[in-house]
């Protein structure tokens, strides 16, 4: 059964109302048959796009503290050793997943643990694959402390189209791998900052599925 994320309920309702009104108004005022059908078709396409963007497919996670799962659907666009300057202030493995507007945009917890840090940063709206997007764009930084991996940081990053990041993580909260961690509206990216000794199960260009695909594990 198709379900939708709660962050989309209001937008879906508004879009549905707009499309229905547009269809009735066009029937009343547009006499050219071909133009009427073009406008009505475009309105229906708009509704379909909004519905598919906010879809929330059910994912069953095999919870395992020795594994890190993909937090979102998308394409792996960055794997490199970097200096993480906001929280750790040391070297980490950065793994970045880019979400196109056609991907599922639900953010899920990549591992179970306790949220030790959660902060929102206002910022710019550079394209999500821009090298400086992780530092300059609107974003949230969340750190989950896990019994096996220690502290793992993930960052929700707004893209050129995304204008609102929803983050459910609260400091001190116990979270479960695979459960709903937030949502990023209309195109974006998630960065993970992992310990250097982490074994990666993905490579650049791989497409991953949030909530179920194992992307890293403990050596």
Task: Please state, in angstroms and as integers, the Cα–Cα distance from residue 211 to each residue in 23, 97, 176, 177, 205, following that order.
Answer: 38, 13, 11, 8, 19
Which of the four pLDDT bands, split at 50, 70 and 90, describes residue 72? very high
Give yes or no for residue 128 having a pLDDT over 60. no
* Residue 147: predicted pLDDT: 92
pLDDT of residue 74: 94
* pTM for this predicted structure: 0.85
More confident residue, 152 or 100: 152
Summarize the confidence of residues 193-215 as an average pLDDT: 95
**Could you give the residue numbers annotated as active site?**
188
65 has pLDDT over 80: yes
Query: In the structure, what pLDDT confidence band is assigned to residue 188 with cuts at 50, 70 and 90?
Result: confident
> Which of 24-28, 147-151, 157-161, 178-182 has the lowest average pLDDT?
157-161
Task: Give me the mean pLDDT over the 139-157 stretch.
Answer: 94
CA atoms within 13 A of residue 143's CA, in its CB half-sphere: 12
Reply yes or no on whether the pLDDT at 137 is more than 80. Answer: no
The answer to whether the beta carbons of residues 176 and 67 sit under 8 Å apart is no
Q: Is 129's pLDDT higher than 60? A: no
Q: How many CB atoms lie within 10 A of CB 145?
A: 14
pLDDT above 90 covers what percent of the chain?
69
Mean pLDDT of the region 117-134: 72
* pLDDT recorded at residue 104: 87
pLDDT at 127 over 70: no
**Mean pLDDT to the nearest integer, 152-164:** 79
| 153: phi then psi, degrees, rounded to nearest 5 | -105, 135
Segment among 158-167, 188-197, 200-209 with least mean pLDDT: 158-167
d(CA 1, CA 73): 19
User: With bands split at pLDDT 50, 70 and 90, how would you rate the model's confidence at 132?
Assistant: low
| Mean pLDDT on 109-118 | 97
Say what the pLDDT of residue 177 is: 96
Among 25-29, 57-61, 124-128, the minimum mean pLDDT is found in 124-128
């Amino acid at each position: 059964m198709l379900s939708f994320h709660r962050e989309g309920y209001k937008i879906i309702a508004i879009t549905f109302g707009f499309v229905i009104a547009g269809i009735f108004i066009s029937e009343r005022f547009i006499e050219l048959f071909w133009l009427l059908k073009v406008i009505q078709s475009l309105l229906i396409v708009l509704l379909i796009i909004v519905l598919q963007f906010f879809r929330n497919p059910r994912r069953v996670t095999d919870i395992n503290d020795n594994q890190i799962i993909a937090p979102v659907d998308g394409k792996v666009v960055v794997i490199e050793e970097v200096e993480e300057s906001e929280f750790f202030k040391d070297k980490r493995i950065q793994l970045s997943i880019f979400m196109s507007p056609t991907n599922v945009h639900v953010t899920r917890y990549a591992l179970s643990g306790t949220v030790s840090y959660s902060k929102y940063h206002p910022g710019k709206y550079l394209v999500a694959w821009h090298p400086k997007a992780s530092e300059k764009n609107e974003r949230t930084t969340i750190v989950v402390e896990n019994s096996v991996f220690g502290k793992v940081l993930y960052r929700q990053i707004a893209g050129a189209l995304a204008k609102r990041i929803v983050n459910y993580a609260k400091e001190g909260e116990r979270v479960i791998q695979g459960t709903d961690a937030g949502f990023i509206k209309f195109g974006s990216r998630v960065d993970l900052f992992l310990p250097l000794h982490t074994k990666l199960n993905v490579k650049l260009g791989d497409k991953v599925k949030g909530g179920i695909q194992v992307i890293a594990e403990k050596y």
